[in-house]
Amino acid sequence: MQSSQPLRSIRLWLSIFIAGLILSGITAFPLEHETAWLASILTAHPILPRGIVLWVDRVYQALYYDSIHAPFLAYGTDWLAFAHLVLAVAFLGPLIDPVRNKWVLQFGVVACVGVPLLAFIAGPIRGIPLPWRFIDSSFGVFGAIPLLVCLHRVSRIELSRGLDST
């Protein structure tokens, strides 16, 4: 592999990861409208198990109720969205210089490992159904894949340059 090939691969994987963070962030703002749309689609076309359809409708009803009676609660998801966008910006460092910013990739993997932990610790406390906890956990698992690929490629670059890859 030529020296530029691992860098191109890292940049491709990181671009996909950053796009996922941006998409997650942007879609966290209009949650009530998105869940209304999703609930109506799933009700009209029940392609998923009934329990998931009922859960999505329950989430929509709660968001709708809160938008009328406690709209300030949506401020929490606004901050969640903002955090995703800020994290996307943090990964611009490794996009530019992945070897120097390897620590950001490592941080990202640690954060991805924390996703299933949070889902399976806080999920039962908050009344989140087990299948939904697996869906939430998948974001951490699938998010870690591009970061681990990038870390592997960074290690190869470090070895080719004679740098310490620890």
At 82 the three-state DSSP class reads helix
pLDDT value of residue 13? 97
**pLDDT (tens digit per residue) in 83-95:** 999 999 999 999 9
Buried b or exposed e, range 89-124, using 16+ CB within 10 angstroms: eebebbbeebbebbebbebbbeebeebbeebeeebe
**pLDDT (tens digit per residue) in 91-120:** 999 999 999 999 999 999 999 999 999 999
pLDDT value of residue 163? 67
pTM: 0.88
- Please state the domain extents for the chain: 4-161
